[in-house]
Structure 1
Amino acid sequence: MGSARSETRVFSGIGASPGIAIGTARVTDRSRVMVVEASVPPEDIPGEVVRFTAALSRSRDDLLALKESIAARRGAEHLYVVDAHLLILDDSMLRQGTIDLIERDGVNAEAALKKNLDKFKEFFAGIDDDYLRERFGDVETVVERILRHMVGKRHERIDAIDEGKRLIVAHDLSPTDILQMDKEKVVGFVTDLGGKTSHTSILARAFEIPAVVGLETITVEDIDGLPIIIDGTTGTIVVNPSEETFRDYLRRKQHYDYLEQELLKLKDLPAVTLDGHSMRLMGNIEFPEEIPSLKGHGGQGVGLYRTEMLYMNRPGLPDEEEQYRAYATIVENVAPEPVTIRTLDIGGDKLATDLHLEDEMNPAMGLRAIRLSLRRPEVFKSQLRAILRAGCKGSVRLFFPMISGIEEVRSAKAVLRECMEELRSAGIPFDEKIETGIMIEVPSAVTIADLLAREVDFFSVGTNDLIQYSLAIDRTNEHLAHLYQPLHPAILRSLKTVADAAHAAGIRVCMCGEMAGEPLYLPILLGLGFDELSMTAVSIPRVKKILRRARRSDAERLVARALTFATAAEVESFVKSEISARFSESFD
């Protein structure tokens, strides 16, 4: 064991939050509680229910104490995570469902809770969207807290770490763990579990804490107290680095930190080309905790606010008041910049069980997004009224997802007008002049973009799905990943069709897919005529750097030439060659 501890070891995982961190490994116990099912005689069942409800109560006390601590450390705008966990803790499906299993199956409380968690897991497992599938982690985190109280297993708080320059090594970390991290003492973390779109990873990026996740077995390695380097950009971990490796990573870290500081100098500078053309650079967000990072990186508002989180982790639907409070919080914190809210974009089979919709063979192309909203107008209207009311707190725009034809747009706008009339009649203030748009993400919408443009105030192109549907590629299928090609001639022509149709009708065209945050694609999108780009906050300065060194006239010529090529490989080769020649210093 001694020799193993002295060897240099390299591990690879998923780069969840960019940056390089150098420090000492601190293994923290976040292992799952092992649950053994045991039969309980009838006379002891009430005692098991009491054990479970007592653990619920202690868990609630934990979260309330955390809420107070986080408010003092980071401010009230970061309490959404804890509030979400308190909501899960109070959920009737979690509480009553577990009690029912104890009483019906005659099993110990731990086993009943674990069985109940498995039901939640099934609920989330089939979700097509990475962001939404990862939300199961929040339920799992709450359940783990309850289990630890039932078995008497200590839950070490991250803010109790008082040594400096520690790198946390854990089986998993919760969003509340990230909120407790003091960057002077905890400089990064690595975990066995997790994905790039988990709530924990999103917060790590928002707070700029380097992180590598998905290492599977890093916690079984004997590394506690050893020097460790993590590269959150490449997903690499080096334990016990040699002096040469240490110096190499120290140089890389200094270079990375220098470039980040230089990029942040662009924060308050206008997003405008050398020949005077402006583009609005905005952020995609899911949680209020991401707003400080958005502002800190110079974001000009929110180009995509995903609302699905409000509908997840629960058997019941959020009411209008709950939604209004959530939207108003975002809008108030982003004001005076605009917030663009997307209405519900997920299939009913993956939502709250109150929707009572049947299973589908292909939910990705089934009753989801605007189709679901129009099928369930009471759910749709509750959300629309909440958005309209939030419009009084700042600048709000709303848009409808997965539009495939004119009828859907007109039907959605008719429901919106009904909601306006209901609020007006009730004397409730709302935004009378709210802008409405649609997502362009299916091929039929591209084909009739000129017709759709007459119906709305703006387009927002969701390239993730547009590329997937246009090229018939499941982007989550590792065998087909090489065919997911943003620069495919069909995609470039589709984007040109959409941008041209928008401008011919006098409306704006925005992009909120992953393509928008890739600096390499900026000249293409500029040349195509996109007015707004929305991306993760950390991407904004990099994109702005290219934009401020570009000329729109050059970008238009670049696009004209790119459109002459027949294959994605030819386009990519040409674009990379042109971009590296003109902006080589911007891709350090």
Structure 2
Amino acid sequence: MDKFTGKSVFKGVAMGNVVVLDKKDKPVVREKITDTDSEVARVDVAVAEGIKQLGVLYDKALKEVGEASAAIFEAHQMMIEDMDYNDSIKNIIRTENVNAEFAVAVAGDNFAEMFAAMDDDYMRARAADIRDVSNRLINILQGNEVVDFSSMEPSVIIADDLTPSETVQMDKEKILAFVTVHGSTNSHTAILARMMNIPALVSVDMDLSKIKNGTLAVVDGIKGEVTFDPSAEMQCEVKKQIQKQKEQAELLNQLKGKENVTKSGKKINIYANIGAVSDVALVLENDASGIGLFRSEFLYLGREDFPSEEEQFRAYKQVAQNMADKKVIIRTLDIGADKKVDYFNLGEEDNPALGYRAIRICLKQPDIFKTQLRALLRAAVYGNISIMYPMIISVDEVKQIKKIVKEVADELTSLGIDFRIPEQGIMIETPASVIMSEELAHEVDFFSIGTNDLTQYTLAIDRQNSKLDDFYDSHHPAVLRMIKMATDNAHKAGIWCGICGELGADTELTEEFVKMGLDELSVSPSMVLKLRKIVREMD
């Protein structure tokens, strides 16, 4: 029995067999080969396996995110079968007497460079696809294990670290918990874990090479511990804890259909945060009053090219229709900082949290912004959609946004396309926006306070840096005063104000937030009923 401690992300308990995600790719080494026919045969086997893997990914994407998003895997299947590509690999093997892995790497580089040099934008974008296909073949040839989450039994995920795009693509029903060697409790990945309602630990000092797939593990998010090969006595105790968690969840279910209102009659909206269309099921299951934050950037993550207007339109429309007349607040693109997307070509920054991100990208690259806005305005016809703009620091930015929205509306009008300009608000997540909140409130329909970044910028602490977790104090008086200031200025101008950051789910502050006069708290779906219970018991 081996026990390791870490920092808890979600306070729950889980037990199951582990799946180790070892992302340390082996280097591709050039080897002299005498039996070239055997290497060519290895390529044929790898291609067949690659087609099979991509077929599984296509079926999963088709079910969860629709045909447009799934099409990329269909395109990769065509590429991996391409005769010219395959002939090039086999020719390199035969003429240079090299191993299959090296031949695939060379052919992949050659084809990617060829596509990158083309004049057509679409063909240039295919360079990334070729590299992705080649990497898949190399991993198969090297025997690197690829986890198939669709066929995996419910498991505890063990990894060095997880990116937001990796986490969001996981099958939530197949993950009991996750444990990572690195990562911060305030990272976006940690936020996603809380949204998925799974016990999780980060900053666990363990050697992944010594952990075998299939090992039984207990993840205790309450104590901040993970135990491998637990004793029979511990297994019995953990089963009792898990049963108790289920019973507590059943008690909370009795609050479904009840109002979020205090004993004295004060009402507060409790909405849910989501990152994908499929998460709407969690919102409805937990009886949230609406969606206070739909992270639209997850339509951009885990892919090789920008989502089209039609693809975005279908996603926003589906969420709006599924939520009927309930409010759906969609945040515009918030790429940057820890959410990196290669095809944006943002480059490396010394301090990405203070860099080129969110609304700054949208205002500097309006074509990307307009595509999303067209999709949002069209989808607003089908439900109660609101639009929210992140990382605002000035009134001038809001005026620029309004100008672009008008241009988009004029374009849609000229094309005879149905649309609606919905309620528009901004995220209050910088000290500048708090200080300017009195002026900003006259330009928008609502405020939504992003407490994660607001805390980071107010305290001058990088929330991605695990060394600073002990200094990161979301209860700091300065942070709470800023929340109160923004709320007061919103109400003074006659608009509503809510919180969509992690602090909204902090049950130690729920009563304080109601006293402040906040109109809405948007939290992970799993926290909706817990907050409802607290609100209904308040005097």
Corresponding residue of 1:9: 2
Q: For 1:43 and 1:241, locate their aligned partners in 2 and report how far apart those are by CA, in whole Å.
A: 50
Corresponding residue of 2:299: 310
Deviation per residue, 1:432-484 (Å, 9 max, x gap): 4x000011111121112111111110001111111221222222334433332
**Which has the larger displacement, 57-66 or 326-335?**
57-66
The CA deviation at 1:217 is 3.2
Q: For 1:240 and 1:375, locate their aligned partners in 2 and report how far apart those are by CA, in whole Å.
A: 53
Report matched runs for 1:158-177 at 5 Å: none
Q: For 1:12 and 1:329, locate their aligned partners in 2 and report how far apart those are by CA, in whole Å.
A: 42
Q: For 2:468 and 2:379, locate their aligned partners in 1 and report how far apart those are by CA, in whole Å.
A: 42
The CA deviation at 1:115 is 10
Gaps of 5+ in 1: 1-7, 119-138, 552-588
- Kindly indicate whether residue 213 of structure 2 is the aligned counterpart of residue 220 of structure 1: no
Identity %: 34
**Which has the larger displacement, 498-507 or 228-237?**
228-237
Corresponding residue of 2:463: 475
**Letter paired with 2:433:** A
**Letter paired with 2:470:** H
Corresponding residue of 2:123: none
Q: For 1:421 and 1:44, locate their aligned partners in 2 and report how far apart those are by CA, in whole Å.
A: 66
Corresponding residue of 1:510: 498
Distance 1:474 1:151, change over 3 A: closer
Q: For 2:525 and 2:477, locate their aligned partners in 1 and report how far apart those are by CA, in whole Å.
A: 28
Q: For 2:192 and 2:215, locate their aligned partners in 1 and report how far apart those are by CA, in whole Å.
A: 26
Deviation per residue, 1:115-147 (Å, 9 max, x gap): 9999xxxxxxxxxxxxxxxxxxxx999987544
1:312 and 1:352 in contact (8 A); partners too: yes
Q: Normalising to structure 2: TM-score of the pair?
A: 0.77
**Letter paired with 1:268:** G
Corresponding residue of 1:341: 330
Q: For 1:84 and 1:524, locate their aligned partners in 2 and report how far apart those are by CA, in whole Å.
A: 48
Deviation per residue, 1:491-550 (Å, 9 max, x gap): 222111111111111111011111101111101111111111111111212211111111
Deviation per residue, 1:219-243 (Å, 9 max, x gap): 62479576x5332444423345456
**Which has the larger displacement, 464-473 or 151-160?**
151-160
Secondary structure in structure 2 of the residue aligned to 1:326:
helix
2:157 and 2:179 in contact (8 A); partners too: yes
Q: Normalising to structure 1: TM-score of the pair?
A: 0.71
The CA deviation at 1:408 is 0.8
Corresponding residue of 1:486: 474
- Kindly indicate whether residue 185 of structure 2 is the aligned counterpart of residue 188 of structure 1: no
Gaps of 5+ in 2: 110-129
- Kindly indicate whether residue 221 of structure 2 is the aligned counterpart of residue 229 of structure 1: no
The CA deviation at 1:156 is 7.4
Secondary structure in structure 1 of the residue aligned to 2:508:
helix
Distance 1:482 1:180, change over 3 A: closer
Q: For 1:10 and 1:279, locate their aligned partners in 2 and report how far apart those are by CA, in whole Å.
A: 43
Q: For 1:420 and 1:411, locate their aligned partners in 2 and report how far apart those are by CA, in whole Å.
A: 14
**Letter paired with 2:389:** F
Choose which of 161, 171, 179 in structure 2 pairs with 1:179.
171
Q: Supply the RMSD in Å over aligned alpha carbons.
A: 4.8
Corresponding residue of 1:373: 362
1:405 and 1:444 in contact (8 A); partners too: yes
Corresponding residue of 2:26: 35
Q: For 1:117 and 1:465, locate their aligned partners in 2 and report how far apart those are by CA, in whole Å.
A: 40
**Letter paired with 1:489:** P
**Higher RCO, Cα 8 Å, sep 6+:** 2
How many residues align structurally? 507
**Letter paired with 1:86:** F
Q: For 1:81 and 1:36, locate their aligned partners in 2 and report how far apart those are by CA, in whole Å.
A: 34
Q: For 2:451 and 2:189, locate their aligned partners in 1 and report how far apart those are by CA, in whole Å.
A: 25
Distance 1:349 1:13, change over 3 A: closer
Corresponding residue of 1:86: 73
Corresponding residue of 1:64: 55
Corresponding residue of 2:253: 264
Distance 1:333 1:47, change over 3 A: farther
The CA deviation at 1:245 is 3.7
Corresponding residue of 2:382: 393
Distance 1:425 1:224, change over 3 A: closer
Deviation per residue, 1:85-127 (Å, 9 max, x gap): 73895799xx9xx99x9899x9866468889999xxxxxxxxx
The CA deviation at 1:423 is 0.6
The CA deviation at 1:340 is 0.8
1:178 and 1:200 in contact (8 A); partners too: no
Distance 1:50 1:249, change over 3 A: closer
Report matched runs for 1:198-347 at 5 Å: 216-217=206-207, 220-221=210-211, 224=214, 228-242=217-231, 245-314=234-303, 316-347=305-336
Secondary structure in structure 2 of the residue aligned to 1:403:
coil
Choose which of 14, 36, 43 in structure 2 pairs with 1:21.
14
Q: For 2:191 and 2:134, locate their aligned partners in 1 and report how far apart those are by CA, in whole Å.
A: 21
